[in-house]
């Protein structure tokens, strides 16, 4: 190093650095905050809110949750070019909040544990790959079944969404990969073992009173909602009412001296519902009676025939990205004849705790592992949107863990 070069470098180091302007300092701080918050949100923890009653009474409308990305392993963004803090739609303009010109393969960092039965899980809605923008509150495929493909695609703006930009749902994991699930008269069985609804879950009951003179205020004190928008009690006949409540709540109702009987309300076996998975006219399944269904597991091979294809066709074609075609009495997968298929991912069966008010796996089937977002940990804030000004915060639910 020459003496002149060393001297010049020393003089430059001794020069006073130009001070940043106030606006530049604010800009640097904002950029740092956005980058740091994005990293935390993508790889560690994210806040969610409960918009519907499908998980009542485990989770209530107005609950704000922290969801861990670490427990199951953070998913590497599959659509990396996106506006920070927006999911799929910009809040003011209503335009797309991402660019799907760049798509990365599904990858996940190592997690602390696998998904277990009864975990409360946040995931991307599996059938959210196609959406009618004017009717985003309604499942596109359900609209097609009821209105026809041509009518839906001519009346509405239909778009497709990448996996990580589909709507976020929260449900309880009833079955993991490899399990066999079924339901009889509203009671779920996993691997042949009946699994009663958790005490915080809700079911429908028919309550018959001994007379028409009933003080319904007592039911409000028990925790039943009497709001006109979403009542837990609805009249069926002169002395009979349909109640929606937990098993513990209904045990208290049974003990009332003016109650004649309490029985569970479920659809009869054999009464088919076309909107119930797998939408197969040869299966007389409904929301309270279905199965058995084997949940696909990575490495599991299924025989392809008329019985299995309604259950697994969407998983093979859409979730695992194969070209699937019918060829005579057989099938072509990616142009090659196939009489079996080996799954590349694990799948899960998710259901809401509010059994008769939940859009869940009974309607759209399996949740693939690449749709899993994270595990719900605890409630950090809860607002009762129907409460008065001083009663809006549900203090008893703050910092409550989710089980």
Domains of the chain: 203-264 (3.30.70)
294 closest CA partner among 254, 364, 334, 348: 348
The whole-number average pLDDT for the span 13-32 is: 73
pTM: 0.89
In which band, very low, low, confident or very high, does the pLDDT at 391 lie, cut at 50, 70 and 90?
Answer: low
- So what's the pLDDT on residue 387? 60
| 314 or 84: which leads in pLDDT | 314
CA angle 276, 60, 245 (to 5 degrees): 65
Coil vs helix vs strand at 77: coil
Asked if 285 and 279 touch (Cβ cutoff 8 Å), the reply is no
Q: What is the pLDDT of residue 186?
A: 93
Q: What's the residue count for the chain?
A: 403
Q: How many CA atoms lie within 13 A of 95 on its CB side?
A: 5
Task: Flag whether pLDDT at 327 surpasses 90.
Answer: no
Contact 184, 269 (CB under 8 A): yes
CA-CA distance, 149 to 271, in Å (whole number)?
26
DSSP secondary structure string for all residues of 134-191:
GGTTS-HHHHHHHH-HHHHHHHS-EEE--GGGSPEEEEEEEE-TT-EEEEETTEEEET
In this predicted structure, the answer to whether residue 56 has a pLDDT above a threshold of 90 is no
What does the pLDDT look like over 136-191, one tens digit per residue?
888 999 999 999 999 999 999 999 999 999 999 999 999 999 999 999 999 999 99
List residues bridging with 63 in a β-sheet: 382
% pLDDT > 90, the chain: 64
Cα 328 → chain centroid = 37
């Amino acid at each position: 190093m020459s003496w002149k070069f060393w001297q010049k470098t020393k003089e430059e180091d001794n020069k006073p650095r130009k001070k940043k302007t106030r606006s530049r300092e604010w800009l640097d701080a904002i950029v740092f905050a956005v980058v740091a918050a994005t990293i935390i949100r993508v790889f560690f923890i994210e806040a969610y809110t409960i918009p519907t009653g499908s998980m009542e009474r485990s989770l209530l409308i107005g609950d704000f949750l922290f969801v861990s990305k670490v427990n199951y392993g953070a998913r590497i963004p599959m659509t990396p070019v996106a506006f920070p803090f927006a999911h799929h739609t910009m809040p003011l303009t209503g335009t797309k909040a991402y660019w799907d010109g760049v798509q990365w393969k599904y990858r996940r960092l190592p997690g602390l544990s696998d998904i277990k039965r009864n975990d409360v899980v946040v995931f991307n809605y599996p059938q959210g790959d196609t959406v009618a923008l004017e009717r985003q509150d309604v499942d596109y495929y359900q609209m097609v079944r009821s209105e026809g493909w041509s009518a839906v695609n001519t009346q509405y703006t239909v778009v497709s969404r990448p996996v990580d930009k589909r709507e976020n749902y929260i449900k309880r994991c009833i079955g993991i990969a490899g399990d066999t699930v079924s339901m009889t008269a509203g009671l779920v069985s996993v691997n042949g073992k009946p699994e009663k609804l958790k005490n915080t879950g809700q079911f429908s009951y028919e309550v018959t009173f001994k007379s028409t003179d009933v003080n319904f205020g007592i039911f409000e004190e028990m925790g039943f909602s009497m709001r006109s928008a979403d009542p837990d009690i609805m009249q069926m006949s002169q002395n009979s009412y349909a109640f929606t409540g937990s098993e513990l709540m209904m045990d208290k109702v049974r003990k009332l001296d003016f109650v004649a009987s309490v029985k569970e309300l479920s659809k009869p076996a054999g009464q088919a519902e076309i909107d119930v998975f797998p939408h197969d006219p040869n299966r007389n399944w409904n929301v309270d009676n279905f199965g058995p269904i084997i949940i696909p597991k990575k490495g599991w091979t299924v025989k392809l025939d008329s019985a299995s294809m309604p259950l697994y066709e969407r998983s093979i074609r859409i979730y695992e990205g194969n070209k699937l075609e019918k060829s005579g009495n057989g099938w072509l997968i990616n142009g090659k004849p196939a009489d079996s298929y080996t799954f590349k991912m694990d799948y899960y069966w998710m259901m809401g705790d509010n059994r008769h008010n939940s859009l869940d796996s009974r309607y759209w089937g399996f949740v693939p592992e690449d749709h899993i977002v994270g595990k719900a940990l605890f409630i950090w804030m809860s607002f009762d949107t129907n409460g008065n000004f001083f009663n809006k915060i549900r203090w008893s639910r703050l910092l409550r863990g989710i089980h």
